[in-house]
Amino acid sequence: MATDAQDHATGITVEFTRPTDFDSSSTIEAERKESAQPGGKETHNKESPEDEDWICDPVNPRNWTTRKKWSSVGVISLYTFIPPLTSSMMAPGLPEVALQYGITSTTILALTLSIFVLALALGPLVIGPLSEIFGRTWVLHISNLLSLAFNLGCAFAPTTSALIAFRFLSGLAGSASIAIGGGSISDLFDERSRGSAMALFTLGPLLGPVIGPVCGGFIAQSIGPKWVFIVTAILNGVAAVVGIPLLRETYHPVLRIRQAKIQGDVELFDGDHPQFSQAKMSNGRLFWVNIARPVQLLFGDIICFALSFYMAFVYGIYYLMFATFPEFFSTTYGFSAGINGLVYIGLGVGFFAATLVGAKYGNQVYCHLANKLNGGKGKPEYRIPSLIFGSLIVPIGLMWYGWSAQAKIHWIMPIIGSSIYGFGQMLTFFPIQLYLVDTFTYAASAVSAAAFFRSLFGFAFPLFAQDMFDTLGLGGGMSLLAGLSIVLGIPFPVYLWYNGEAMRARSSRAR
């Protein structure tokens, strides 16, 4: 059942789905229904009068003005941009870090960079579910302030061990926006209108690591590596000054619980209403059930696992490039640390171009297929054509980069290859994130599961990159990765196009 409502700012008629269709069912209700239905399939009650009231309630984030929605998206995207920027900003200055701390092991030096990404993998498993207990907004604000403190800790760390520890803690705090942002976008927009917002959100985790080295190389070279961390702490402070006044709570169950308390609707807490049943759980039980959900989604649902695995593989290659760019361009072309940072611009150009293409044409394809095949009602499978197109671009970019780098031809050729790869990577991330948000009841948990997997690969891939390229060469190593990306990125999406709806129908965790 769907209800048409007018967007307050534009007057455009948009279709709102049932409240239980946008990441707002409670944990205890989902568990009760899962156990009660044959095969564990979750079903939803018919809408109650309270549900009908919520659909048209001005407090509902989907009924906010366009300006308020997009200011929230801007803050969320800013929060999401800073941690990936922090993860890579020190990359061109690694030689200076090694001199400052007397690091002689290449593995330990790589660990100072990639430990942050390991923290980005672990953090969403806790922080994503926390947002579904206490709400999104203050989890984002507090995590950003903690990132500020830990980045300052990195700047003044006395030893290598202290630097690694502060980098890890900074990554844990910074993972909040990556874990929660997709759920916040789901809170604000329905399936047909969230494409552009998701594109902007997805751009942050990819563009941040590109801009980081561009700035970090010159900062480390001119005023020292500790200022890399001081600058990121300043960015955290700026984000707090902008974000705390502008960003309001978006998570529907938390808003409805607050509203019920203000209005004194105690009866709603005593019934079986799915929006309020979580209020009857103890904090310990609620935390445990929520924290287990991303792991259950990742390893208990084949759709979430397969899409997250492919995303993780492509993201691992991304960080593998980050680990090898400085040495390759400095030894082959004689680039300094500052100029080395500029070589990442190729990836950024690819990401930015893909964002424009994905936001515009990806959403057009989705709406066209919905109108042509399903009477205007969208399905997650209508994201698949964009995913397949991006999956075809990724191996082209990898092969271009690898073999032009091995041939040591003009430096622009490897950068063009990295740009093509970045274009394809963004076009795969965009539809995967949307598919997960469209498919699973708990959008933040699904996005957290994917973030865990991809950050784990981002941590691991740089550790074996140099050994692989020493054995196979840049051309052979990238050819191997290109072949694996085809195997992982083409067959399953094609299968999902034909069988995705049936697979979702069998899943107890899908909408």
pLDDT digits 0-9 by tens, 466-501: 788 888 888 999 999 999 999 999 999 999 999 999
The model's pTM is 0.71
Q: Please say whether the dihedral angle defined by the alpha carbons of residues 305, 309, 310 and 312, taken in this order, is positive or negative.
A: positive
pLDDT of 23 above 50? no
d(CA 13, CA 456): 42
Predicted local confidence at residue 283, as pLDDT: 62
pLDDT in tens, 322-345: 777 877 888 888 887 677 778 888
d(CA 119, CA 111): 12
Residues 131-146 as b/e (b if ≥16 CB within 10 A, e otherwise) read bbbbbbbebbbebbbb
Return the domain boundaries, the chain: 56-506
Burial label, 498 (beta-carbon count in 10 A; 0-12, 13-18, 19+): exposed
Contact residues for 330 (Cβ-Cβ < 8 A; gap 6+): 336, 337, 340
pLDDT in tens, 397-406: 999 999 998 9
At residue 102, the 3 state secondary structure works out as coil
2-16, 271-285, 379-393: which range is least confident on average?
A: 2-16
pLDDT of 419 above 90? yes
Out of 3.40.50.2300, 1.20.870.10, 3.10.620.30, 1.20.1250.20, which CATH number does the structure's domain 56-506 have?
Answer: 1.20.1250.20
d(CA 311, CA 320): 14
pLDDT of 439 above 70? yes
